[in-house]
Amino acid sequence: MVQKVAVIGAGVCGLISIKACLDEGLEPTCFESSHEIGGLWRFKDEPEPGRANIYQSVVINSSKEMMSLSDFPAPAELPNNMHHSEVLLYLRLYAQAFRLPQHIHFKTSVVSVRQTPDFAATGQWEVETERRDGRRQTAVFDAVMVCSGHFTKPHLPLRNFPGIESFKGRYFHSWDYRNAEGLQGKRVVVIGIGNSGGDIAVDISRVAEKVFLSTRSGAWVVSRLGQGGLPADLVGTSRVDAMMQRLFPSWINRMVEKKLDEAFDHRLYGLKPKHGYFAQIPLVNDDLPARIISGRVQVKPNVKEFCGSTVVLVDGTIIDKVDIVVFSTGYNYSFPFLPSALQAQRGEQLRLYKHVFPPALTKPTLAVVGFIQSFGAINPLAEMQARWVTRVFKGLTTLPSEETMMKEIEKDTAAIHPRKCNPHQVNYIPYLDSLAEQVGVKPNILWLLLTDPRLALQVLLGPCTSYQYRLTGPGQWAGARQAILTQWQRVHQPFRTRVVPEPETRPSSRRSIIVIVSCAALLCSFFSPLAFFRPPQ
Ligand SMILES: Cc1cc2nc3c(=O)[nH]c(=O)nc-3n(C[C@H](O)[C@H](O)[C@H](O)COP(=O)(O)OP(=O)(O)OC[C@H]3O[C@@H](n4cnc5c(N)ncnc54)[C@H](O)[C@@H]3O)c2cc1C
Ligand SMILES: *[C@@H]1O[C@H](CO)[C@@H](O)[C@H](O)[C@H]1NC(C)=O
Ligand SMILES: *[C@@H]1O[C@H](CO)[C@@H](O)[C@H](O)[C@H]1NC(C)=O
């Protein structure tokens, strides 16, 4: 029987894992190496080794309602796309509401996780921790949830950049970037066009002489603002939209790309990637096109080599007098505390069943939470993982055989989805639903249509917010229905900073009446017999 669970890390994923354990009557003990909760959302003035870091200007790329946890909607007055400090505020409110901090040992790092000698029988783990003062301790746990984040190790592929040792300026990884201070009037090259690369290029371009954004692959750029200025991830992300996408993938893909090119032509702007829109997480950036049209940012191809302070690009062009290079070249994950058998082997990806369970364990008592990427917010996905994990720990849900799991992992990787670039990428609603089915909390839409049509329409046609997974089953929350029916109110609330009264009659309809009447008058006068008897001038 699993009772005591070790949770490693108190970022978003750690917090929701503690909560999931409590909900299932398990005893969580969380170890957090820093002095506070929040993980990457806790902004640090100086980057801390072994942890995720963010820059000052980070604004979340998924909207408030989509990133809210399923039984804790973010307060209505918070903006739709929160600053990182507001995300941290939300997490603090969440932790307080469910009394999570009392289960956390701060300033305590997990240094190793080993199977106990009688693991085959008990599935237990020895977890060794180290406190700030160097004191080490080992304790036995029935299960382990790994929530240590995966943006921890900056990937700096200097070998791909010959001549970098001769570079006269300064270079650093986006992990080290805080703000544009000290970059006034500089000539800056940003390499890589992930979400961080785009943000950092825009940030620096406000003070630098010029920013060159070098990209091998290009990217689709989407705005946070959708139709009518509503959060883009709330529009076109319903269950019906997902169904359409499954039925007509290439048609929907073409439609989305056409729409994006209407905002600005990706080819003209030098951004157009080879891959289709759904193959890779897009760049969420509202400012980049405007920085390009004003010439503050220039999009460039891949870098071939460095030569003194000159950067040579693969198309033969050069950028001279470069002062600063920012490598926005991504991250490598690492779980240094896990036994080597559970680590990714050299050159291979870590293989996890549904991105959570290592398939080869004789007892499923170790799980990784939050190790995914998606077109939507990570929080609801990670929360569903944690709910599923605790059910598996308790034996209420079982995993298939190792062979079946391996097969499914194979199916999940590139072979089946040749257009999918990232092996950790999941399909938002299908992934949520597949785990929800295991937990027993997938909303039954037919039943809802019969019993509560108003709610059913929101679930079907509205954004797929996480509250949908609290309507029934284990972990059911009485406030879920109301949370769904009021989600648009919480979206509108932060906009109400200057109330503009609604016009009495809609001007557009009045205008169209005037147009119709005048057209009718014109037609009448044209065809009127009187016209033929017009007196000569
Ligand atoms: C710049 C940036 C912007 C992002 N923006 C978004 C966004 O807009 N929307 C979105 O959904 N996602 C976004 N993400 C993804 C983000 O990673 C996830 O949303 C989520 O916050 C990850 O939480 P986590 O708990 O997995 O990891 P983290 O937040 O990294 O937390 C891990 C915690 O574990 C602790 N820890 C690590 N190792 C140990 C150890 N050995 N012992 C004890 N404690 C340990 C760390 O101190 C840390 O507190 C962004 C990521 C980055 C880098
Ligand atoms: C490290 O990460 C980069 C980019 O994120 C990737 O291309 C590379 O293969 C990774 N290396 C390893 C050893 O996983
Ligand atoms: C938001 O940005 C983070 C960090 O770059 C990325 O991992 C995530 O996939 C992005 N989310 C969306 C919805 O694009």
Nearest CA to ligand 3 atom 10: 61
Is there an atom of ligand 1 within 6 Å of 12 CB? yes
Q: Which helix (H) or strand (E) holds 172?
A: strand 170-173
Domain presence at residue 124: yes
Tokens of 35: 């002095």
Domain presence at residue 527: no
Q: Counting every residue, how long is the chain?
A: 537
Q: What is the pLDDT of residue 530?
A: 42
DSSP β-ladder status, 125-131 and 425-426: unpaired
Helix axes 12-23, 84-97, angle to 10 degrees: 20
Is there an atom of ligand 1 within 6 Å of 146 CB? no
C-alpha to C-alpha distance for 53 and 185, rounded to whole angstroms:
26
Question: What range does the domain containing 183 cover?
Answer: 158-327
User: Looking at residue 286, what DSSP letter applies?
Assistant: S
Separation of CA 92 and ligand 1 centre (Å): 15
Separation of CA 515 and ligand 2 centre (Å): 62
Atom of ligand 3 nearest to the CA of 373: 9
Is there an atom of ligand 1 within 6 Å of 52 CB? yes
Domain co-membership, 408 together with 362: yes
Domain presence at residue 75: yes
Domain presence at residue 293: yes
C-alpha to C-alpha distance for 323 and 168, rounded to whole angstroms:
8
The total number of structural domains that make up the chain = 2
Domain co-membership, 120 together with 169: no
Domain co-membership, 136 together with 206: no
Domain co-membership, 346 together with 220: no
Is there an atom of ligand 1 within 6 Å of 385 CB? no
Q: What is the pLDDT of residue 517?
A: 62
Domain co-membership, 244 together with 354: no
Which amino acid is located at 24 in the chain?
E
C-alpha to C-alpha distance for 381 and 105, rounded to whole angstroms:
25
Separation of CA 378 and ligand 1 centre (Å): 10
Q: What is the pLDDT of residue 345?
A: 72
Among the bound ligands, name the one nearest to the CA of residue 54: 1
Domain co-membership, 8 together with 139: yes
The residue to mutate among 152, 158, 332, having the most atoms of ligand 2 within 8 angstroms of its beta carbon, is: 332
pLDDT along the chain (537 residues), means of 10: 95 98 98 96 88 91 96 97 97 98 97 96 97 95 96 90 93 94 96 95 97 95 93 91 91 94 96 91 95 97 94 95 95 90 76 93 95 91 98 96 91 58 83 96 94 95 96 96 97 93 70 62 50 41
Task: Give the CATH number, domain containing residue 339.
Answer: 3.50.50.60
CB atoms within 10 A of CB 126: 16
Q: Among 282, 298, 327, which residue terminates a domain?
A: 327
Helix, strand, coil share of the chain (percent; to 5): 40, 20, 45
Domain presence at residue 365: yes
The residue to mutate among 57, 60, 61, having the most atoms of ligand 3 within 8 angstroms of its beta carbon, is: 61
Domain co-membership, 75 together with 223: no
Q: Among 305, 327, 349, which residue terminates a domain?
A: 327
Is there an atom of ligand 2 within 6 Å of 155 CB? yes
Domain co-membership, 323 together with 336: no
Atom of ligand 2 nearest to the CA of 349: 14
Among the bound ligands, name the one nearest to the CA of residue 157: 2
Q: Among 296, 327, 358, which residue terminates a domain?
A: 327
Whole-structure pTM value:
0.91
Domain presence at residue 226: yes
Binding pocket residue ranges, ligand 3, CB within 6 Å:
61-62, 194-196, 281, 284, 373, 375-376
Q: What is the pLDDT of residue 521?
A: 56
Domain co-membership, 178 together with 275: yes
Domain co-membership, 135 together with 184: no
Domain presence at residue 256: yes
Question: How far from chain centre, in Å, is Cα 300?
Answer: 26
C-alpha to C-alpha distance for 487 and 80, rounded to whole angstroms:
11
Domain co-membership, 288 together with 167: yes
Is there an atom of ligand 1 within 6 Å of 151 CB? yes
Domain co-membership, 9 together with 143: yes
Domain presence at residue 501: no
Separation of CA 328 and ligand 3 centre (Å): 14
Give CA separation, 205 vs 17, 184, 211, 217, 325, in Å: 40, 9, 6, 21, 13
